[in-house]
Structure 1
Amino acid sequence: MGSHGPRARRLRLLAAAVADRSGTTGAAARPAHDGLRGRLDLHHLSARRVGRDANRWTPRRHVWQEAGARITLFALALGTLIGAIATSLPMMIVARLIQGMGGAIFPLSFGIIRDVLPREKVASSIALISGLLGIGGGLGIVLAGPILETLSYHWLFWIPFVVTLGAAVIAVVAIPESEIRAKGDIHWLGAALLSTWLTALLLAVSESSKWGWGSTKTVGLIAGSLVVAAWWVVAELKSEHPLVDMRMMRLPGVWTTNLAAILLGFGMYSGFVLIPQFVQTPTSTGYGFGATVTQSGLFLVPTTITMLICSNIGGRLSTVVGSKVPLVVGAIVTTLGFVVLVFTSAKWEVYLASALMGVGIGFAFAALANLIVEAVPSHQTGVASGMNTVVRTIGGAIGAEVAATILAANVKGLYPDKHGYTVTFLVCTLVLLVGVGASLLVPRRSSRDAHVSGLPAMASE
């Protein structure tokens, strides 16, 4: 029911519900809330990384892509079912681990689209998938509040379970087989090292607001993750069958797109967290709107609607002028959305910022997926798009925790003051401006090269 940003929003609702059950409220609830959400998010993201690389686990790549899509959906349904019946934190962590494997569905989908559909329809189809992410995310944001208020947090899992199980059944019936085959094997050392450095990095980031960015734990974990990441790169370069081809990652069309993804993810995902918190702040603070959990979700409805519309428009633009143009446009428009938030003082301004964010995310995320698909050979589509999603997720995780740190440093009483939010929105704006610059570095490809010939102009088979 959505991408990482909306999913993180539901995690916060879940963490808040559990913290509330423990009897903590207001500022005292923050450590319990952040610690629980960080642990759930960490296990979930770690499993997503494993799931995205699963399409390397068989010599017959495309057979795995179709079977993998079905297995992934059933695994996601199983994890969601366990979450629905969970009554303890360890059980919830198990549920999130299994759910995290659902992260493989999008790289697998992009690979299937590229292999099965006519080349001229690839860009628009990938953009449509990105748009559906917006729909699912929007539904998750809007529905999570009323579900939590009127039912219980268990229903945050029961409803997605029914939807996911239905999608899995449809996948069994509807996904066609492809004649494309490519040999491959799993590099176990690479998988272990990748999981290790990602886990260390995400743990440091997720706990930074509690430990402090300068604490021994945070610095040690980040330093350790960098050392293991360097070891991982060396191991992958030496392997005959690397989990992630480092030569592919060095392609101009890949590394520039990933750089743009991590910077845009920092700002874009932060909006999903900051806007609901901002509008829920009581009016007694002098700046908040006192919105309920349900009402705060409505402030992101414009994001959902414009994201859906603009992802489809972005896909059409990609076929006409190439994918770089919608990426740059999306980065600029999202930046403008945060500029509005810096100066916001009325509800309509928040709605305007929300709409601008949706336009920007719709253009940019569809373009990011297409740029990666265009830049690599067909047999590397799943791995390349999976890594792009991972770096985007890392950017989002860092952005959310940087925002939390700034707000925590500006708490007066039970809530952050207006200055804290202004600084946070300004930091996101500056990072997004750097993201605009990164998007300009992405090599331009003609629409003919990208969507008619189907051959990656910046990579060779």
Structure 2
Amino acid sequence: MTAPLERRADYRVTFAVLCLGVAAFSLLQSMVNPVLPTIEAGLGTDQATVSWVLTAYLLSASVFTPIIGRIGDKVGKERMLVVALAALAVGSLLAAIATNIELMIAARVVQGIGGGVLPLTFGIVRDEFPRDKVAGAIGTASALLAVGGGVGLVIAGPVVDALSYHWLFWIPMVMTIVAALAAAFYVPESPERTPGRINVGTALLLSAWLVALLVGVSQGHLWGWSSARVLGLFAAAAVLLVTWVWAEARSDQPLVDMRMMRIPTVWTVNLVALLFGAGMYATYAFLPQFLQTPESAGYGFGVSVTDSGLLLLPQTVASFVAGVLAGRLTARFGSKAMMVFGAALTALSTLALTVAHDQVWQVVVATVGLGLAFGLAFAAMSNLVVAAVPQSQTGVATGMNTNIRTVGGAIGAAVVTSVITASIQPSGFPQESGYTHGFAVLAVVAAGAALVGLLVPVVRVATHVVPGPQAEAELASTVEP
């Protein structure tokens, strides 16, 4: 269903607003990681409890990203973009003024609602931009996720040193307020709408299996992987996942159309996203720790939080450059080629870290390779999913792809945590072999993503599909040459 036409804003203004929102969300994904000990001390809590500052955000974003994307497909992407940005702003305000860990965790849950910014951005780009500009815009917006993650690691230390950790939330709050106001005034209403109601039952099932899985994964190293709590959560996640798929397949108004998820391009790209997310988020989590490890441990460089961020700045610049160039490279070589190349470059870069990490320049060179890989692969995955689904399902499809990448990141971080901390020195730092094995695991995972990427068919779907098993799905596709 198409909304009434109205006077459209210049797409470049729309794009600037969208990029500001994506940047604010991506900053909040990474800025908190390096300063968790500072937050722990400031709020008078312990390490196990403060870890929920990350876990709560991860859970909330995973649950709300596809749901907000689906609601945007139905009621309008512009108005849901304003809602998502407003949630980011409110959550940032609560986190900035939090004087206890309970309010901080609640604030991070509210911030996670802002995960809907990502699928809404991709949907608005597809609705509003000239066709020849869509791939480049999606590439740049996707790369901002990697860029924002890197910038967060870079600026966290200087912000805390110069001001306090509270400003890690004040800054994104200002950004999101500006973006929300600009979205309300300058981003036009969506011309594409999906009819039907929001299936609350399947939304609850989706939320339930995601929460069970991610709590088990994120807390496994603290509770014990063989503990009854963790095993029980994994069992519950498996049962709830099967129930959710069954319920969606039988629903006249599914939250996530299972026929869409079975499109060959969609499910193969989602599998690449799972593997790629595992490598990328684990890299962001553990490289700063490696750099900050004192040389007395037999490895590491003993740098401060601020200096470790600066050493990762070239990686951030490389991600931005890759995102800017992604549109032109995609037009010439295709999104599939860029995704496979990005995954292969990730494998080579993490392999380089595995065998050579004794000098600062070796780490910097490897991280520049990772930055280029992240920028290209993020752009390619989003473009492939957008091209493969009907326009009316862009939000939920890209939301699920983002969500699956996040789940992969949680699993990757948990696995690498277990590998790195398997052997601890008397000083309390992991053995160097732990990091070596961890980097090797990431190289294998990235190589797997590249191999799966070779199986991705490049498909364009130009039809409008109304979700539901009773509707005739016009999913006839043509494979690009």
Q: Same fold per TM (> 0.5)?
A: yes
Deviations 1:9-57 (A, max 9, x none): 4333342113334779xxxxxxx335422x2233223322224312434
Match of 1:27 in 2: none
Among 368, 372, 376, the alignment partner of 2:381 is 368
Corresponding residue SS for 1:416: coil
Compute the displacement of 1:139 (Å). Answer: 2.4
In structure 2, distance between residues paired with 1:55 and 1:202: 20
1:204–1:218 Cα contact (<8 Å) kept: yes
Match of 1:101 among 96, 102, 113: 113
Please give the residue correspondences for 1:32-431 in structure 2 after superposition, counting only pairs within 5 Å: 32-37=46-51, 39-48=52-61, 49-57=63-71, 61=73, 63-343=75-355, 344-413=357-426, 414-431=428-445
Match for residue 19 of structure 1 among 25, 28, 40: 40
Are the structure 2 counterparts of residues 12 and 134 from structure 1 closer, same or farther at C-alpha, using a change threshold of 3 Å? closer
CA separation of 1:324 and 1:34: change in aligned 2, threshold 3 A? farther
Partner of 1:10: 31
Task: Call closer, same or farther: CA 1:243–1:62 in 2, change over 3 Å.
Answer: closer
4+ long deviations beyond 3 Å? 1-9, 20-24, 55-58, 453-456, 458-461
Q: 8 Å contact 1:403–1:424 — kept in the other structure?
A: yes
Q: Whole-Å Cα distance in 1 between the matches of residues 111 and 70 of structure 2?
A: 20
How far apart in 2 are the matches of 1:6 and 1:418? Answer: 30
Q: 1:256 to 1:148 in 2, by over 3 A?
A: same
Distance 1:306 1:151 in 2: 28
Change (3 A) 1:329 1:306: same
Amino acid at match of 1:428: L
Say if 1:78 and 1:4 are closer, same or farther in 2 by CA, change over 3 A.
Answer: closer
**2:285–2:413 contact (8 Å) kept in structure 1:** yes
CA deviation string 1:284-303 (max 9, x = no partner) = 11211001000111122111
The change in CA–CA distance for 1:200 and 1:178 in structure 2 (over 3 A counts) is: closer
Residue identity in the other structure for 1:13: P
Give deviations 1:156-214, integer Å, cap 9, x for gaps: 11111111111112212221234333313211110111111100111001101112222
The alpha-carbon deviation at position 63 of structure 1 amounts to 5.0
1:330 deviation in Å?
Answer: 0.3
Distance in 2, Cα, partners of 1:184 & 1:346: 58
Total equivalences in the alignment: 445
Contact conserved, 2:143 with 2:374, CA < 8 A, in 1? no
Q: TM-score, normalised by structure 1?
A: 0.91
Is the CA contact (8 Å cut-off) linking 2:89 and 2:111 kept in structure 1? yes
1:437-459: CA deviation from partner (whole Å, max 9, x where unpaired) = 111111135xxx58xx7999x94
Which whole-Å CA distance do the structure 1 matches of 2:387 and 2:147 have between them? 25
2:31 alignment partner, SS class: helix
Return the offset for 1:125: 0.8
Inter-partner Cα distance in structure 1 for 2:24 and 2:416: 19
1:5–1:272 contact (8 Å) kept in structure 2: no
Write the distance in 2 (CA, Å) between the matches of 1:315 and 1:136: 19
Find the aligned partners of 2:163 and 2:443 in 1 and give their Cα distance: 37
* Identical counterparts, % of pairs: 43
| Matched residue type, 2:32 | L
Cα root mean square deviation, aligned: 2.2
2:32 partner SS: helix
Q: What amino acid is the match of 2:221? A: S
Give the residue type in structure 2 aligned to 1:317.
L
Contact 1:197 1:229 in 2 (8 A): yes
Query: Of 429, 432, 447, which aligns to 2:446?
Result: 432
